[in-house]
Amino acid sequence: MASMKALGKSEFSINLTYYTIFLTIGLALGYIVIASMGINNFKTCGEDVTGSKTNQNLNAFLIASIAIVITIPAILLFMKLVGHFDMTQKMVVFGFLYAVMGVAASAISLQFSVKCKKEEGNGVIWNGVMLAATSAATIGLGYMLQRGALARATERAAERMAENMQRMAAQGIIPQQ
Query: Mean of the pLDDT values across residues 24-36?
Result: 90
Nearest partner of 12 among 90, 92, 73, 98, judged by Cα: 90
Highest mean pLDDT among 64-73, 89-98, 149-158: 64-73
Nearest partner of 106 among 93, 125, 92, 90, judged by Cα: 125
pLDDT digits (tens, 9 = 90+) for 113-167: 777 777 666 778 888 899 999 999 999 888 888 887 667 767 777 888 888 888 8
Distance from C-alpha of 88 to C-alpha of 94, rounded to nearest angstrom? 10
| The CA-based dihedral angle spanning residues 99, 103, 108, 113, taken in that order and rounded to the nearest 10 degrees | 100
In this predicted structure, the answer to whether residue 14 has a pLDDT above a threshold of 80 is no
In this predicted structure, the answer to whether residue 98 has a pLDDT above a threshold of 90 is no
pTM: 0.55
Query: DSSP class of residue 93?
Result: H
